[in-house]
Amino acid sequence: MHVEGLLRAKGDAVVVIASRATVGELVDRLAQHRVGALVVSDDGRHVDGIVSERDVVAALAEHGTALLERTVADIMTTEVVTCVPSTTVDQLMSLMTERRMRHVPVVVDGNLTGIVSIGDVVKDRIRDLEVEAQTLHEYIAHGR
Ligand code: AMP
The pLDDT assigned to 144 comes to 61
Atom of ligand 1 nearest to the CA of 54: 4
- Is residue 32 within 8 A of residue 54, CB to CB? The reply is no
- Judged against a pLDDT cut of 90, whether residue 133 lies above it is answered with no
Q: Which pTM was predicted?
A: 0.90
The pLDDT assigned to 128 comes to 86
Listed residue (54, 26, 52) closest to 37, CA to CA: 52
User: Ligand 1: which of 3, 52, 87, 122 to mutate, judged by most atoms within 8 Å of the beta carbon?
Assistant: 52
- Is residue 115 within 8 A of residue 28, CB to CB? The reply is no
The answer to whether the CB of 3 is under 6 A from ligand 1 is no
Looking at the chain, which runs of residues are DSSP E strands? 16-17, 37-40, 49-52, 103-108, 111-117
* HSE toward the beta carbon, residue 73, CA cutoff 13 A: 7
User: Ligand 1: which of 17, 23, 50 to mutate, judged by most atoms within 8 Å of the beta carbon?
Assistant: 50
